[in-house]
Amino acid sequence: MINSLKTIGFFGSTLTSRYRTGLCSSFTVAARELGVNMVYFNFVGLVGDKNDQYGNYEHDLLDSIDFDQFDGIIFDGEGFTIAKTRDSVIEALRRATCPVISITSEVEGFINIKFEDAAGIRMLIEHFIDVHHYTRIGFMSGYLTHPDAQVRLAEFRAVMKERGLPEDGAGVFEGDFWFGKGEAAADYFLSLPERPEAIVCANDYMAISLCAALRKRGLKLPQDMPISGYDGTLEGKMHFPRLTTATRERMDIARRSLELLLKLCEDKDADRTIVIRPVPLFEQSCGCTRPDYDPQLEIFNIINENGDISHNLRLSESAILRLNMVDNVDKLKYAFDSNTSNFGEFDSFFLMINKDAHGRLSFDSDYEGPTGYFEPSIWIDKKEEHSVPEGGIRGNCMVPDNKSDEPQAYYIMSVHCLDSSFGYAVISMSGKDIFNEFYNLWVMNMAMTLDTLQKNDRINKLIERLKDQSIRDGMTGMLNRRGFYEHSNSAILSIKDKRTVCTMVIDMDGLKQINDAYGHYEGDRAIRCAASVITDCCINGEIAARAGGDEFYIFAPDYSQEMLDSFEQRLNELVKKSNESKKSYAELSLSIGATLCESDNRGNLEEFLKISDAKMYAQKHSKPNRRRR
């Protein structure tokens, strides 16, 4: 729970695209008016036209979301560019117990908004016929497999037929609902035996691209070719000439959707019907209003726009270079905090990293898998309004608690690299508007940085394991002779002033007899038993190793006679206990020689061991009925 207000989830894709930035702003404004929180889940989808490397794994985030945290959900299916992701979101939302409204596409089982797009297209066509008296009208459709394109083309044909005109008008061209087909459309319409008197486009983006292509071919707009769009985009309003269009009022969609969800919270049987009727905007591109053309102003606008893009690109280049230098999460936070001025002002940012059952984070190479718990690895809270909820960050409260009871808006994105899911990012912007595309770039690059940290961790641990194997005895797991000398000499070098050190040499009695009587398997088991006993005696910082065969070395860099006596007593007790347990056919017997002496950091380990070795042999030879080696 963010605060005491109701919370609405919004699931969509490409939220930084031109139409959807306005859609999100409208929902944020409406939510503030109605006193509810918004949590937007943004799926990036395709990067560029075809790259689905990032988008193909975004749906893994759905497994971490507890939908019970929402009082209602908005689904914007039209923006998804990867069908697999859209279908995964729909299936996940079917598990939600709260009402779900689909605002741009019809989904079985959801509350679907009815858009009277046919009425909007009809108004535009009839405007050209009745007001401007055109009869040769062309139509630029979206791609014909799209449901919206089918509705709008069918209505165009219906109106033309009703008016006694050719059903396909002056000609129908299949576009792409984007900017990519303007050139081809211009060539098509201008090559017709009878050029259209006007062209109706199925959305604003295609109309803008067609206008640009016609101008390149020397036509003046709207004098030589009146054009209309559809959807009422900001780009259409800023375009020269301003587009005649019909708009799905985003503010109307947002307000009425949220109002219905709030009603359903109180009354599950409330009327679930929402009908949005488009509003026509008769502007410059059809000739209804006179263009006020100022070429110099248009040039300045282009220069300013390109300047902003260029500046933001340079900032992104700097950020990517800084991210490439990151070798731990603390530096990742610093990189984010010092390079985040190019996607808009924000109030808070949190990077939530998956934790496994052992508390390991997802960029740890030993990470075993998600548990539904997350660690805030980056915490930027400019207003100091947030706190971690009791029980930590979990899928049922993905946004930290907020002290304010004012309506809040947060955006959540998956942080992953291919199939490695690291967690998610949460951001709240300072105003009503969403971030721009550069934030998407930030999130993707942070994911790649975490992937690099994971790979580096795996390599470093492999190096450590290989290094450890080179200084470990394979049979007992103790240090080998090389490891003993490395660790012990390092301990000697770290001695300041003088200190009492201790060396011990321990030898098994009668290993050869054990091998001869019971075989080498039993001999090896006896060696492992001796190693276990010696290791269990090392409780005061002793460095223990199997020097080879049946011989063991011990070095203690800070020791006393009392500690040595305690060691020998414990050694004898554990040997006795081992023999009583009958874990081995052979009886374990050990001889020990120990030396205590003063040493500084120039102490000679080899000399200390020689003294201890001599004492060990003296003890071995003094034992009655001693076994031969």
Q: Is residue 473 part of a domain?
A: no
Q: Above 60 in pLDDT, residue 361?
A: yes
Domain of residue 173 covers 115-249+278-291
Q: Is residue 138 part of a domain?
A: yes
CATH code, domain carrying 242: 3.40.50.2300
Mean pLDDT in residue range 435-449: 87
Are 240 and 306 part of one and the same domain?
no
Q: Is residue 71 part of a domain?
A: yes
Are 487 and 511 part of one and the same domain?
yes
Are 287 and 354 part of one and the same domain?
no
Place of tokens 């858009």: 115
Q: Which residues contact 565 (CB under 8 A, 6 or more apart)?
A: none
Q: Centre a 10 Å sphere on the Cβ of residue 627 and count the other Cβ atoms it contains.
A: 16
Last residue of a domain, one of 422, 457, 492: 457
Give the residue, 334 or 538, on which the prediction is more confident.
538
Whole-angstrom distance, CA of residue 336 vs CA of residue 318? 11
- Greatest Cα pair distance, the chain, in angstroms, is 126
Q: Is residue 543 part of a domain?
A: yes
Sign of dihedral through CA atoms 131, 134, 135, 140?
A: negative
Of 288, 393, 287, give the one whose Cα is nearest residue 350.
393
Residue 535's pLDDT is 96
Are 302 and 394 part of one and the same domain?
yes
Are 47 and 119 part of one and the same domain?
no
Are 61 and 182 part of one and the same domain?
no
Least confident interval from 222-236, 310-324, 400-414, 509-523: 310-324
- Could you read off the pLDDT of 512-545 as tens digits, one per residue? 888 888 888 889 999 999 999 999 999 999 999 9
Residue 229's alpha-carbon distances to 159, 361, 375, 587, in angstroms, are 17, 50, 48, 95
Whole-angstrom distance, CA of residue 145 vs CA of residue 285? 28
Are 200 and 287 part of one and the same domain?
yes
Place of tokens 């020097």: 547
Residue 348's pLDDT is 95
Residue 583's pLDDT is 63
Residue 317's alpha-carbon distances to 311, 320, 435, 441, 442, in angstroms, are 10, 5, 18, 11, 11
Residue 460's pLDDT is 83
CATH code, domain carrying 542: 3.30.70.270
Residue percentage of the chain with pLDDT more than 70:
93
Q: Above 60 in pLDDT, residue 53?
A: yes
Give pTM, 2 decimals.
0.72
Q: How confident is the model at residue 311 (pLDDT cuts 50, 70, 90)?
A: low
Are 559 and 607 part of one and the same domain?
yes
Please provide the DSSP assignment of 185-199 as one string: HHHHHHHSSS--SEE
Total number of domains in the chain = 3
Q: Is residue 495 part of a domain?
A: yes
Q: Above 90 in pLDDT, residue 48?
A: no
Are 184 and 285 part of one and the same domain?
yes
Residue 121's pLDDT is 97
Contacts 24+ apart (CB under 8 A), 365-370: 365/454, 365/455, 365/457, 365/458, 365/461, 366/461, 367/454, 370/63, 370/64, 370/421
Pair 142, 206: CB distance under 8 Å: yes
Q: Is residue 81 part of a domain?
A: yes
Q: Is residue 233 part of a domain?
A: yes
Are 501 and 587 part of one and the same domain?
yes
Q: How confident is the model at residue 467 (pLDDT cuts 50, 70, 90)?
A: confident
Residue 468's pLDDT is 80
Q: Please tell me the total number of residues recorded for the chain in this structure.
A: 629
Q: Above 70 in pLDDT, residue 321?
A: no
Q: Is residue 474 part of a domain?
A: no
SS3 160: helix
Give the residue, 305 or 367, on which the prediction is more confident.
367
- Could you read off the pLDDT of 590-604 as tens digits, one per residue? 999 999 999 999 999
Residue 33's pLDDT is 97
Q: Above 70 in pLDDT, residue 291?
A: no
Pair 428, 434: CB distance under 8 Å: no
Give the residue, 371 or 628, on which the prediction is more confident.
371
Are 442 and 374 part of one and the same domain?
yes
Query: Tokens standing for 169?
Result: 């008008």
Are 191 and 53 part of one and the same domain?
no
